[in-house]
């Protein structure tokens, strides 16, 4: 299967600061990347869809000014959590697809703890 690398795997930050999470497709070009959030013992909830070279599409209820997504190239998307608060503490996971009608491969996830 294809490899999607996510960095960092865990991060602790202070309230009010910003945190950037990177998602890279290592062995394929990803036309579309997706960002999910997962709370303990719950399923993945899609936050936004990121297409290379265009603005991300956010799901209802997700603040686009708080969760900044940049998809600068076909192999890299970043999620920046701005002015983080303790309630933003969660497991953030990205996924990437080569194109339509293909499998979605996931990164290993980033555990964010805001203190």
Q: Rule CB under 8 A: which residues touch another protein?
A: 1, 4, 6, 32, 34, 41-44, 46, 49, 91, 93, 95, 97, 100-101, 103-109, 111
The half-sphere exposure of 49 on its side-chain side, counting CA atoms within 13 A, is: 9
Q: Considering the complex, what minimum distance in angstroms separates the CB of residue 60 from another protein? A: 12
Q: Which is nearer to another protein, 16 or 99 (CB)?
A: 99
Q: Which is nearer to another protein, 32 or 75 (CB)?
A: 32
Q: Considering the complex, what minimum distance in angstroms separates the CB of residue 13 from another protein? A: 18
User: Is 53 exposed, middle or buried, given 0-12, 13-18 or 19+ CB atoms closer than 10 A?
Assistant: exposed
Q: Considering the complex, what minimum distance in angstroms separates the CB of residue 38 from another protein? A: 9
């Amino acid at each position: 299967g294809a490899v999607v690398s996510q960095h960092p795997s865990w991060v602790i930050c202070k309230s009010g600061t910003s945190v950037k999470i990177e998602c890279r497709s290592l062995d394929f070009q990803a036309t579309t990347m997706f960002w999910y959030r997962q709370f303990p013992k719950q399923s993945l909830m899609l936050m936004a869809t990121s297409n290379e070279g265009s603005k991300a599409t956010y799901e209802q209820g997700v603040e686009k000014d708080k969760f900044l997504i940049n998809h600068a190239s076909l192999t890299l998307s970043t999620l920046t959590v701005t002015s983080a608060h303790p309630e933003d503490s969660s497991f953030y996971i990205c996924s990437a697809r080569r194109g339509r009608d293909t499998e979605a491969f996931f990164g290993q996830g980033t555990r964010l703890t805001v203190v």
